[in-house]
């Protein structure tokens, strides 16, 4: 049984224990966090993220940034689930979804002084621009719509990520307006052309910096900051297939996916 006392520490510990068990496969996805375990603020939801990863023994390998309740947020991505693209076929769970994104990969680590002084305009000098597929899995079952705070506690359904090699020198203008295309076995399933869907991006980079400072995390070389989907969240075909994400003028990312659940 999970503790359901309505205190912040017990909510965080109980929710993290439950979400960690679901990620381990010891429990099935739940319709929502039990009464008494749901976060009551963004700060509590973020604390649940870290407590879940601590329970699993995971370290931070990157971040996904976005907004919850109109507030810019940064969710940690675990080292167990973030990897450069490889020739190996991906094996994903039944019901997995996909998002095509632009991400930044740090060329260098940042000490506390550099991190505190960091501004969004500095990123082109210390990070590569890459193409990224995020594969999304929810710890909540489909019968109930989880609240925004529950989704945030669950790191907004992050499952795993694969990313391309560096796409070359870049500026914020390259990312703020862009064209991306997603195909499955050569058939176009989504396209975006125009402003980045998460504009203004400077707010999101600042949220990432401030979250790292708040928890005492010093980003290391190779860490990823992914900026959000340009093609929406789409189901991965049950039969799998060749997924290709293209960023016009900058490159492509290919991922071969096996039939889901295999």
The domains located in the chain, with CATH, are 59-257 (3.90.850.10)
pLDDT one-digit tens code per residue, 134-143: 999 999 987 5
At residue 99, what are phi and psi to the nearest 5 degrees? -135, 135
* Predicted TM-score (pTM) of this structure: 0.94
Buried b (16+ CB within 10 A) or exposed e, 145-179: ebeebbbbbbbbbbbbbbbbebbeebebebbeebe
Question: Quick check: helix, strand or coil at residue 36?
Answer: coil
pLDDT at 1: 47
Q: How many CB atoms lie within 10 A of CB 6?
A: 11
Q: Look at residue 4 and tell me whether its pLDDT is greater than 80.
A: no
What CA–CA distance (Å, rounded) separates 210 from 96?
A: 31
What CA–CA distance (Å, rounded) separates 51 from 101?
A: 27
Q: Look at residue 151 and tell me whether its pLDDT is greater than 50.
A: yes
pLDDT > 70 in the chain, percent: 97
What CA–CA distance (Å, rounded) separates 75 from 165?
A: 23
96 preceded by a cis bond (ω within 30 of 0): no
pLDDT at 144: 63
Q: How far is CA 217 from CA 51, 58, 122, 154, 220, in A?
A: 14, 14, 19, 19, 9
pLDDT one-digit tens code per residue, 209-240: 999 999 999 999 999 999 999 999 999 999 99
pLDDT at 204: 97
Cβ(241)–Cβ(257) under 8 Å?
yes
Q: Look at residue 97 and tell me whether its pLDDT is greater than 70.
A: yes
């Amino acid at each position: 049984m999970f503790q359901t006392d309505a205190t912040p520490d017990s909510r965080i510990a109980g929710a993290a224990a439950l979400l960690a068990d679901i990620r381990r496969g010891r429990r099935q996805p739940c319709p929502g966090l039990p009464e008494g375990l749901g976060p009551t603020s963004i700060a509590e939801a973020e604390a649940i993220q870290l407590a879940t990863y601590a329970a699993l023994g995971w370290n931070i390998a990157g971040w996904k940034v976005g907004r919850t309740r109109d507030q810019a947020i940064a969710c940690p991505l675990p080292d167990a689930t973030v990897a450069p693209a490889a020739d190996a076929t991906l094996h994903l769970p039944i019901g997995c979804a996909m998002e095509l994104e632009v991400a930044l990969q740090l060329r260098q680590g940042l000490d506390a002084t550099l991190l505190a002084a960091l501004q969004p305009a500095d990123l082109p000098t210390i990070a590569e621009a890459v193409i990224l597929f995020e594969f999304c899995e929810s710890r909540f079952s489909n019968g109930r719509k989880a609240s925004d705070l529950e989704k945030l506690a669950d790191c907004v359904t992050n499952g795993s990520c694969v990313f391309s090699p560096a796409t070359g020198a870049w500026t914020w203008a390259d990312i703020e307006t862009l064209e991306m295309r997603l195909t499955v076995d050569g058939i176009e399933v989504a396209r975006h052309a125009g402003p980045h869907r998460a504009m203004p991006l400077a707010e999101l980079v600042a949220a990432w910096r401030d979250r790292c400072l708040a928890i005492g995390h010093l980003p290391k070389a190779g860490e990823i900051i992914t900026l959000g989907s340009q093609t929406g969240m789409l189901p991965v075909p049950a039969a799998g297939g060749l997924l290709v994400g293209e960023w016009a003028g900058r490159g492509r990312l290919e991922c071969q996916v096996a039939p889901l659940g295999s």
